[in-house]
Amino acid sequence: MAEHSNISSTAFDGTVAWTALPAHVQARVGAAAVELGVAMAISEHARMPACRAGDEAMERAGELLREAVVGYDGVPEGAWWAGTGDEASVFSIPSVLGMVCQACGCSQLDPCPGGCGWHSGDLCTACVPNAGIATAAPLRPGDVVVDGVVRPEPPMPVQPLGRRLGEIARAIDGIDQGGGDER
């Protein structure tokens, strides 16, 4: 029996959500994001006691940002999760992660501890043997995955060098003798 993942096959698109927010919410989100960015920089670059204050500011600014984004007049719940808050809930993971495995939650930026690749657009190779999750078919030869979307790889045009091979060789030989490209 196929297991159900709590990861949606559709990623959360922050750009779409941002454009739908009213101006006053955008201002609140922007201010909190700037505060968080500065706090992160202080935490990373400063020595004590500023580092300690930066760490605490990161915590507080992160809470403010979360409240501004998903608070009462922020991004509607339906944009990033569906369900009742129980095990049946499904979450749209932010698109900043790229591809996300529906079985284990690893991503392009956070692969499985033993390493993994992509079996399909939403299933990593580490989860293939014991994945009970209904998934897309494996990638066809020539397909690539770009930002979580499976696309056919365009064939590379072959341009034979033929007659130009001698010209290219002379140009390469001339580089060491001062006759090549001056940079």
pTM (2 decimals)?
Answer: 0.62
Give me the half-sphere count of Cα atoms (radius 13 Å) on the Cβ side of residue 179.
Answer: 8
- For 58, the domain range is 22-74
Is residue 132 in a domain? yes
Is residue 126 in a domain? yes
Which DSSP string corresponds to the chain? Answer: -PBPPSB-SS-B-HHHHHHHS-HHHHHHHHHHHHHHHHHHHHHHH--TTHHHHHHHHHHHHHHHHHHHHHSTTSS-GGGTEESSSSTT-EE--BGGG-SB-TTT--BTTB--TT---EEETTEEGGGSTT--B--PPPPPTTEEEETTEEEEPPPPPP---TTHHHHHHHHHHHHHTT-S---
Pairwise pLDDT comparison (8 vs 131), residue with the higher score: 8
Is residue 36 in a domain? yes
pLDDT at 75 over 70: yes
pLDDT in tens, 49-60: 999 999 999 999
Same domain, 6 and 26: no
Rounded-to-integer distance, Cα 146 and Cα 160, Å:
29
Average pLDDT over residues 119-142: 68
The letter for the amino acid at 156 is M
Is residue 113 in a domain? yes
Report how many domains make up the chain.
Answer: 2
Same domain, 5 and 30: no
pLDDT in tens, 78-101: 888 887 666 678 999 999 988 999
